[in-house]
Structure 1
């Protein structure tokens, strides 16, 4: 992919990661009202969905995908795909449970150990999500994915 075409996409991906990081870090401090917290959680989940959509659009744009060698692409990026979906599931679960517990009193402290466990798992999952998502975004900028090359032919020969 041309650098001039890929850089805006990369900046959008970084913006979505930054928004997610910011909301993970500061959403507990910005809980003035129930509706504000709900909107912040919805924004965070929508940003994760947009990030996934962008990654899959980049997958669809590769030569490998267009040539019908989807299994090569999936095998190269199976861990990031798995991490993204696990992180999204953890985030939605945390947001739903948190809103259920905090609705009516957004400043309350939650003493539920199950919620704290889910909170820690979501934050640890966020670290893996940031790492794998950023690495995938940078790897998809490699021009080898957008043109026919010898390594694609070798991978195809391995699959037969």
Structure 2
């Protein structure tokens, strides 16, 4: 399947919107700490956006000439870090959501334990890596070699 400007613009726009939603929820969820129901809804939206972002990225991989001709190892070698980071980030985000809701659900004045703060810092560091890898993959997948009959192994 040939990569068209309209198709790529639509996919990149969708990925950017999902990126902005994830980044915004990561930034502002702390302000909704007293409202448990709002936090829960925000976390569900964020997790759904992460699943949708990973699905969108995988669909762009599936539409390449390389994938359609069974050269999965070439795609895997080039995008392995992105796929692994996306999955690790989703797992860490889900754990963070469950843990933070568990801490504040019944007690709004709770102090965060040191382990939670350390985990939050690790999550934020991994989120920066996720944002970098995801956007890099979104731009790298536009390489014309993925969409035409050429030597894609090099």
Same fold per superposition (TM over 0.5): yes
Q: Which residue of structure 2 aligns with residue 99 of structure 1?
A: 101
The superposition leaves residues 34-60 of structure 1 with CA deviations (integer Å, 9 ceiling, x where unpaired) of 111000011111111100000100111
Give 1:31 shift.
3.0
Q: Give the counterpart of 2:12 among 10, 20, 23.
A: 10
Given the two structures, how large is their TM-score scaled by the length of structure 1? Answer: 0.90
Give yes or no for the alignment of 1:89 onto 2:91. Answer: yes
Q: Which residue of structure 2 aligns with residue 33 of structure 1?
A: 35
Q: Which residue of structure 1 aligns with residue 114 of structure 2?
A: 113
Matched pairs, number: 152
SS of residue in 1 equivalent to 2:31: coil
Given the two structures, how large is their TM-score scaled by the length of structure 2? Answer: 0.94
Q: Give the counterpart of 2:24 among 22, 36, 39.
A: 22
Q: Which residue of structure 1 aligns with residue 137 of structure 2?
A: 136
Partners in 2 of 1:69 and 1:5 — Cα distance?
23
The superposition leaves residues 101-149 of structure 1 with CA deviations (integer Å, 9 ceiling, x where unpaired) of 11023x4343311111110111111100000000001111222211111
Give 1:32 shift.
4.1
How big is the alpha-carbon RMSD for the aligned residues of Structure 1 and Structure 2? Answer: 1.3
Partners in 2 of 1:20 and 1:51 — Cα distance?
10
Partners in 2 of 1:80 and 1:110 — Cα distance?
35
Partners in 2 of 1:111 and 1:32 — Cα distance?
13
Structure 1 unaligned segments of length 5 or more: list them.
none
Give 1:61 shift.
0.4
Partners in 1 of 2:72 and 2:136 — Cα distance?
20
